[in-house]
A = this chain, B = another copy of it.
Amino acid sequence: MAHEERRVPTESGCPDGIQYMHPVMRENFGHWRYHEDPMPGVLRHVAESGDEIWTVRAGTQRILDLFTLRKLCEIGDKYADGYVRFTIRSNIEFMLSDGSRVEPLISALEENGFIVGGTRNSVAAISHTQGWLHCDIPATDASGVVKSMMDQLIDEFRHWNMPNRVHITTSCCQINCGGQGDIAINIQHTKPPKIDHTLVANVCERPSVVARCPVAAIRPAMVNGKPSLEVDERKCVCCGACYPPCPPMQINDPEHSKLAVWIGGNHSNARGRPCFQKLVAAGIPNNPPRWPEATAIVKRILRCYQENARDWERINDWVERIGWSRFFELSELPFTKFHIDNWRGQQKSLNASSHLRF
């Protein structure tokens, strides 16, 4: 690294959070008794000591510009106690000890364009990845998708009209940096990579690319005199795993890299064990700047969930109860051969019983 600077780093690692923590939280650390949800976006936690801490949660664009960041600090000082945190979904939380200051804080936030909500049985902020703004392998954007969908889900974020909390995630390539979710909108490539054989030799470490393929579809080959790689298109499942280690194996395609919607991922241990999300819709156009087709499907699924699920049922709990036949009927989504698993352990996803729904 050609660079003047020769400063030896201080390997301080992860800073202690206590120093930045609200005094009331510090004093009652590990001694909280219960919490209440006075209104959407607001939590009231009560400690064994009787102390209480109020939390106000607001949604932001995850890509903060300095103006926005400073605005949030300003609000935090003026209307709260100058202590904040960011949730795993990049919402900001203001902590204050005096409940009477909650209302003014909320108004200030809303006036400045921040959305208060996202707690309890609402649709939480959509988890966000990098996309075209920064990543080197995205098939779609992230910030734009999140913005477009949250615009449409603003009421569901602001209010409590879902049976239980809904965690939505997106990912801008099939590698999926976004987590699983109650609903996930992910890329699903539909064509094998297009290989630029002139570049492979220089750019790619061929053995490790071959090793990356989940179905062993890649083999080394000489293409017009140059060492390159070849894909068995009958085997290829279009996953894109070969692309990061070998950019000349272009998997992204404006037309053929589609969106897919998955539902029922649940990572909490509440009630059932954590469970994976399931494919429900694919072949959805990757359509910037607002991806209306994907959003429409997400909204339809949310409507069915809202109308049919019981209190405390997450989406997976709900579908487990009503069954997949009914889900496809209610959501008016097509059921196809693609829904039937053919990957390892497929067997376990087939119905080896006469438990049937009519």
User: What is the minimal beta-carbon distance from A343 to any residue of chain B, in angstroms?
Assistant: 11
| Contact residue among B274, B345, B352 (Cβ-Cβ distance under 8 Å from A353) | B274
Asked if A355 is at the interface (CB within 8 A of a chain B CB), the reply is yes
| Contact residue among B274, B345, B354, B355 (Cβ-Cβ distance under 8 Å from A345) | B345
Q: Which residues of B contact A355 (CB under 8 A)?
A: 269, 273
Q: Which residues of B contact A352 (CB under 8 A)?
A: 273-274
Asked if A134 is at the interface (CB within 8 A of a chain B CB), the reply is no
Q: Which residue of B lies closest to A356 (CB)?
A: B269
Q: Which residue of B lies closest to A347 (CB)?
A: B345
Q: Which residue of B lies closest to A353 (CB)?
A: B273
Asked if A348 is at the interface (CB within 8 A of a chain B CB), the reply is yes
C-alpha spacing A355/B270, complex, angstroms:
9
User: What is the minimal beta-carbon distance from A255 to any residue of chain B, in angstroms?
Assistant: 36
Q: Which residues of B contact A347 (CB under 8 A)?
A: 345
Q: Main SS of chain A's interface residues? A: loop
Q: Which residue of B lies closest to A348 (CB)?
A: B348
Convert A326-358 into 0s and 1s, putting 1 for each residue whose CB lies closer than 8 angstroms to a CB of B.
000000000000000000110110001111000
C-alpha spacing A347/B269, complex, angstroms:
18
C-alpha spacing A352/B345, complex, angstroms:
16
Taking a contact as CB atoms under 8 Å apart, the answer to whether A269 and B348 are in contact is: no
C-alpha spacing A353/B270, complex, angstroms:
10
C-alpha spacing A344/B348, complex, angstroms:
11
C-alpha spacing A348/B355, complex, angstroms:
21
Q: Which residues of B contact A273 (CB under 8 A)?
A: 352-353, 355
User: What is the minimal beta-carbon distance from A122 to any residue of chain B, in angstroms?
Assistant: 25
Convert A266-293 into 0s and 1s, putting 1 for each residue whose CB lies closer than 8 angstroms to a CB of B.
0001000110000000000000000000
User: What is the minimal beta-carbon distance from A271 to any residue of chain B, in angstroms?
Assistant: 10
C-alpha spacing A251/B87, complex, angstroms:
61
Q: Which residues of B contact A348 (CB under 8 A)?
A: 345, 348
User: What is the minimal beta-carbon distance from A317 to any residue of chain B, in angstroms?
Assistant: 15
C-alpha spacing A62/B323, complex, angstroms:
43
Convert A171-203 into 0s and 1s, putting 1 for each residue whose CB lies closer than 8 angstroms to a CB of B.
000000000000000000000000000000000
C-alpha spacing A143/B348, complex, angstroms:
35
Q: Which residue of B lies closest to A276 (CB)?
A: B352
Q: Which residues of B contact A344 (CB under 8 A)?
A: 344-345
Q: Which residues of B contact A353 (CB under 8 A)?
A: 269, 273-274
Taking a contact as CB atoms under 8 Å apart, the answer to whether A269 and B345 are in contact is: no
User: What is the minimal beta-carbon distance from A14 to any residue of chain B, in angstroms?
Assistant: 24
Convert A153-173 into 0s and 1s, putting 1 for each residue whose CB lies closer than 8 angstroms to a CB of B.
000000000000000000000
C-alpha spacing A148/B269, complex, angstroms:
46
C-alpha spacing A273/B353, complex, angstroms:
6
C-alpha spacing A274/B355, complex, angstroms:
9
Convert A13-43 into 0s and 1s, putting 1 for each residue whose CB lies closer than 8 angstroms to a CB of B.
0000000000000000000000000000000
Q: Which residues of B contact A269 (CB under 8 A)?
A: 353-355
14 contacts between A and B (CB under 8 A): A269-B353, A269-B354, A269-B355, A273-B352, A273-B353, A273-B355, A274-B352, A274-B353, A344-B344, A344-B345, A345-B345, A345-B347, A345-B348, A348-B348
- List the 6 shortest-distance A-B pairs measured between CB atoms, nearest first: A273-B353, A345-B345, A269-B354, A269-B353, A274-B353, A273-B355
Beyond A269-B355, A274-B352, A348-B348, 6 additional contacts (C-beta under 8 Å) are A269-B353, A269-B354, A273-B352, A273-B353, A274-B353, A345-B348
